[in-house]
Amino acid sequence: MPTSSSRPQMIKADPADGYQVWPYRAEAVSPDGDRNNGGIDLLAEPHRIDEIHEATKENGLRYVLEALNSQDSPFMSLGCLSGEDGHYFSYVEFTLRDHAQAANEKAVMAVHDRWQSWIEEKDAEFPGLAQALNERSAWEYREFSFRGSDPQYLIAAFHREQDQESHGKVVEWFERFVLEADHSS
């Protein structure tokens, strides 16, 4: 089992690398056909998941958003994106629902530590899983303002695979982590 020092680390991104205040506004369809739906609060309006065109059952993102926003989850989703550039890729942005925890850098980093511990536990049952998932995913975090509140952190989990079907299998492990891991600490 890898030591925590040999595990992939979650990178702290520059807040200027993304939107600064959530919910962000929807934008018109870009010349390349991309569409930004804006920030949709799936805790308050779960039925609006159908408006998020990136979140499909085929690519697994719909299930991830449902898991992040489920009643027992400590998280809420903020946004996602999926596309192709020779590979199938996505990211999901989420935050801890509890503002004090979401504003605590150590608590936010602990989410990634739990992910690493969880996939290492699963690796005992599925040898090679942790390495495969770490090769196909990366995490970063950055500051933002939730509805104009004091700064807190969001986490972005990036996933990349050869095709949409394989991507869905990778993302399914992230969904299982959200649903199965002990997030009480």
- DSSP structure string for 91-138: EEEEEESSHHHHT-HHHHHHHHHHHHHHHHHHHHHSTTHHHHHHHHEE
pLDDT at 2: 52
pLDDT at 22: 87
> What are the extents of the domains in the chain?
11-26+36-181
Q: pLDDT means per 10 residues in the chain (185 residues)?
A: 71 87 74 71 95 92 97 95 92 96 98 98 97 97 91 97 95 96 83
Residue that the structure tokens 């500051």 belong to: 143
Q: How far is CA 5 from CA 1, 2, 34, 125, in A?
A: 11, 8, 38, 23
pLDDT at 184: 81
The strand pair at 137-146 and 11-12 is best described as parallel
Q: How far is CA 33 from CA 27, 29, 30, 36, 100, in A?
A: 12, 6, 5, 10, 38
Residue of 74, 67, 78, 80 whose CA lies nearest to 35: 80
pTM of the model: 0.91
- C-alpha–C-alpha distance, residues 136 and 31, integer Å: 29
Alpha helix (H) residue ranges in the chain: 61-68, 99-102, 105-125, 129-136, 164-180
Do 41 and 23 meet the contact criterion of CB atoms below 8 Å apart?
A: yes
- C-alpha–C-alpha distance, residues 12 and 48, integer Å: 30
- C-alpha–C-alpha distance, residues 168 and 166, integer Å: 5
